[in-house]
Amino acid sequence: MAQNSFEGAHYLASGFRMLLQKGIKRYVFIPLGINLTLLTIALIYLINQISSWATWIEETITSWGTWEWLGTALAWLVWPIVIVGAVLFIFFFFSMLANWIAAPFNGLLAEAVERKLHAESSHSDGPIEDQGFKDLIKDTPRLLKREWTKLKYYIPRAILCLLVLFVPLIGAIAFPIIWFVFNAWMMSVQYIDYPMDNHKIPFDDMLSTLQTTRSGTLGFGSLVMLCTMVPILNLLVMPAAVCGATQLWYENYREKHLSKQLSEQ
């Protein structure tokens, strides 16, 4: 089982190595294009916002008159924390949007990775059927409904995290840490859900499974979050995370859930 953070993070590195493998790479291009477009928009928006914030802070400090020195000192203390928080918030928001749009194609990618892993293993339960684009079109409403379920899970918890910002003094320092940990968890939920959803595993069951190996789950999600903030690398992180999460699912959770489904039939 992926019990510790290092083991969880290892799967993302494995996901990057899969991107150009035969039988997988053709499923990478559409998620890659969606990610490229939206992250470019996110970067442009972030640069414009930071410029606006910098101008506003400078004007505010100047208006303090004799206390301008105090405003400057506070700006030097808080500004880096605000920048980190803004980067985490904006990039994660656009990553969530990219995952929403690319959900059907990410499902196909997860299926292709699982099919390849299954073919390379010694399992005796037969090959995994290639669903193809016709089934993708048929399943799109269900996939989008699943993304909506994840969004409903995410929004109230994100709001609680944002409320930390309103705690005097401590809030600005604590928020980036809390936001990072929460979104690392959400990154794992987002990506590991693709192979689980392919097997029609209910969302609540998926959450319960991840909570039993919380450390490994956070390790995987934390590395995804860090890669999302690295230029160039962030363009590849979505398909790589789908590949890595599918391998994590296959090696740690698949047999348990398939056995459970068979026993319930």
pLDDT of residue 191: 92
How far is 112 from 129, CA to CA, in rounded Å? 10
**Which pLDDT does position 153 carry in this prediction?**
93
SS3 of the chain: helix, strand, coil, percent, to 5:
85, 0, 15
pLDDT digits (tens, 9 = 90+) for 28-49: 888 888 878 877 787 787 777 7
CB crowding 167-179: b at 16 or more within 10 Å, else e:
eeeeebeebbebb
pTM, 2 dp? 0.76
Would you say the C-alpha torsion 175, 177, 178, 180 has a positive or negative sign? positive
Largest CA distance in the chain: 78
**Is-contact 210 188, C-beta < 8 A?**
yes
pLDDT digits (tens, 9 = 90+) for 87-122: 666 666 777 777 778 778 888 899 889 988 888 776
Distance CA 260, CA 202 (A): 12
Distance CA(243)–CA(237), nearest Å, equals: 10
Return the SS3 of 247: helix
Per-residue pLDDT at 1:
45
CB atoms within 10 A of CB 47: 10
Q: Which of 181, 55, 192, 34 is nearest to 110 (CA)?
A: 192
Q: Which residue has the tokens 């290892």?
A: 10
pLDDT tens for the chain, 265 residues: list them.
445 556 677 899 999 999 888 888 888 888 888 878 877 787 787 777 776 766 666 666 566 666 555 556 666 666 666 666 666 666 667 777 777 787 788 888 998 899 888 887 765 455 555 555 566 667 778 878 888 899 899 889 989 988 887 887 787 778 888 888 898 899 899 999 999 998 888 999 999 888 887 767 888 988 998 887 777 787 788 899 999 999 998 888 887 766 666 566 5
